[in-house]
Amino acid sequence: MQYSQEQYINSFLNNVKIIEDSFRRNVGLSKLTVSYIKKLSEELYRRYGKESKLKIMDFCGTHEYTITRFGIRSLMPDNIDLVAGPGCPVCVTPSYYIENAVKLALEGITIYSYGDVYRLRSQKPVSGAYSLADARALGGDVKIVTSIVEAIKDAEKHGNDSIFLGIGFETVAPGYANVLLKKLLPRNLKILSLVKLTPPAMFYSIDILHEKPLESSIVGVIAPGHVSTITGAKAWAPVAENYGIPVVVAGFEPIDVLLAIAEILKQLVRCEAKVVIEYTRAVSWHGDLKAQVAIHKAFKSVDDVWRGIGYIPKSGLRPRENFEYFDAFSYFGIKELTPSDWRYDLLPGCRCAEITLGKAKPTSCPLFMKICRPEKPIGPCMVSDEGTCSIWARFGVDSLASDIARDVGLR
């Protein structure tokens, strides 16, 4: 059925109104959900005792933003601990690839980068430059773009050898696949695909904490809403089936997150573990099948390295052999990292890896808000708006206030 422009606009406005009424202004539902969370947590408190902190992990920078920005942690009972997971692709991009991009920029190759990647610091300098921003200051041709389409249009104009830094999760992969499959890239523009896949990282994060005592293992997962529009909620089924952990695919309004927490606690009380879609307005069980096929045709999955963490099996995407000409790795002879080459690539003191895996919080890093701040980031989690340290630095007033209150004996 074809919609007229007017019908389309009306339907859009109607949906916005539903979201406003149901999710943004629904104080009654918020209060009910918070009191339901308290009731469920009391039941779990009786069952597991006061020593047990129940750790619920979010796997998306936008969920961490919602939780921190809207003070959702401050609404949680004492035995519920909300922790961030590997939800920021910039935070986990290895230093090695940034060093390569900086080197090529200084050799005269035009580099297209998203704004947050532009400020990402490498561990080692290349000719005095730690980041693409430094490389530009030294005369390198580094251009900030908001999409690969912008890079294509610009590269077509100048004809210089160029690289688009393809950083992101499954949400950006269909766009990159599309330009490869439809041959939209000009011959002078290559992709350096550093796309990461989130389900393997989720299994890895759960695995390393799984055998630990209850207070440090993950008992519930708020699965990423954006990624799930592509992968479908089915991608998280192994978390429920293999680990017995409840999963809720949630939207990004505060009430979405509260409903997700309530559903996880409800499953824990009932000793259930299943995948539930709370974000039904955007996510289905099977996801976007067309996008999945496009990704599969354009890319192969590879064992990939996550900054500060190391190799996670089948967690990255590289172009298939038939797109070799547009693959920056082969065209520019960039050597792939291997497990034996990779070295721990965070700066001394930076606890990004532990923060990314839910084992630490930004406030436990000695550099947090001292020498590492959003305006002058040292570690990768402080660079992007989706990085946990950046979110806590900008909005974590509740958390900092709670810590100080605890330190001075008020809590």
Alpha-carbon distance of 285 to 295, in angstroms, equals 18
CA-CA distance, 74 to 411, in Å (whole number)? 12
The strand ranges marked E within 194-348 are 195-196, 218-223, 247-249, 275-277, 299-306, 310-319
CB of 70 to ligand SF4, least distance (A): 21
- Confirm or reject binding of residue 87 to ligand SF4 (CB under 6 A): no
**Contact region for ligand SF4 (CB under 6 A) — 121-129, 313-321, 322-330, 365-373?**
365-373
Q: Tokens at residue 120, please?
A: 């990402």
Of 117, 173, 219, 355, the one binding ligand SF4 by CB under 6 A: 355
**Closest approach of ligand SF4 to the CB of residue 228, in Å:** 27
Least distance between ligand SF4 and beta carbon 176 (Å): 27
Phi, psi of 215 (to 5 degrees): -65, -20
Compute the distance between CA of residue 332 and CA of residue 38 in angstroms, rounded to an integer: 56
Nearest CA among 212, 260, 255 for reference residue 236: 260
Cβ closer to ligand SF4: 114 or 164?
Answer: 114
Q: Does 381 bind ligand SF4 (CB under 6 A)?
A: yes
Find the shortest distance in angstroms from Cβ 86 to ligand SF4.
Answer: 14
CB of 366 to ligand SF4, least distance (A): 7
Report the residue number, 36 or 395, with the smaller CB distance to ligand SF4: 395
Rg (CA), the chain: 22
- Work out whether 389 is an interface residue with ligand SF4 (CB under 6 A): yes
Residue number of the CB closest to ligand SF4 reads 379
User: What is the smallest separation between the CB atom of 218 and ligand SF4, expressed in angstroms?
Assistant: 20
Q: Which token pair is 119? A: 């400020």
Would you count residue 273 as binding ligand SF4 (CB under 6 A)?
no
With CB under 6 A as the contact rule, the residue among 368, 374, 384, 386 that binds ligand SF4 is: 368
Element (H, E) at 163: strand 162-166
* Least distance in angstroms from the C-beta of 363 to ligand SF4: 9
217-249 residues labelled b (16+ CB within 10 A) or e (exposed): bbbbbbbbbbbbbbbbbebbebbbeebebbbbb
Backbone dihedral angles phi then psi of residue 159, each to the nearest 5 degrees: 75, 0
Q: Which of 83, 248, 295, 372 binds ligand SF4 (CB under 6 A)?
A: 372
If one asks whether residue 309 binds ligand SF4 (CB under 6 A), the answer comes out as no
Tell which positions 315-354 bind ligand SF4, by CB under 6 A.
350-352
Torsion-angle region of 154 (φ positive above 0: left; ψ -120 to 50: alpha; else: beta) = alpha
Among 60, 197, 365, 391, binds ligand SF4 (CB under 6 A): 365
323 or 368: CB nearest ligand SF4: 368
262 token code pair: 């309530």
Q: Which stretch binds ligand SF4 (CB under 6 A): 176-184, 268-276, 326-334, 360-368?
A: 360-368
Q: Cα separation of 197 and 302, whole Å?
A: 10
Nearer to ligand SF4, 60 or 219 (CB): 60
How crowded is residue 188: how many other Cβ atoms within 10 Å of its Cβ? 15
Beta carbon of residue 365, minimum distance to ligand SF4 (angstroms, whole number): 3
Tell me the H-state helices in 20-56: 27-48
Which of 135, 223, 378, 391 forms a contact with ligand SF4 (CB under 6 A)? 378
- Binding flag, residue 357, ligand SF4 (CB under 6 A): no
Q: Is 382 in the site for ligand SF4 (CB under 6 A)?
A: yes
Closest contact distance (angstroms) between CB of 361 and ligand SF4 is 9
- 165 and 104 in contact (C-beta within 8 Å)? no
The contact set with ligand SF4 (CB under 6 A) reads 350-352, 355, 362, 365, 367-368, 372, 378-379, 381-382, 389
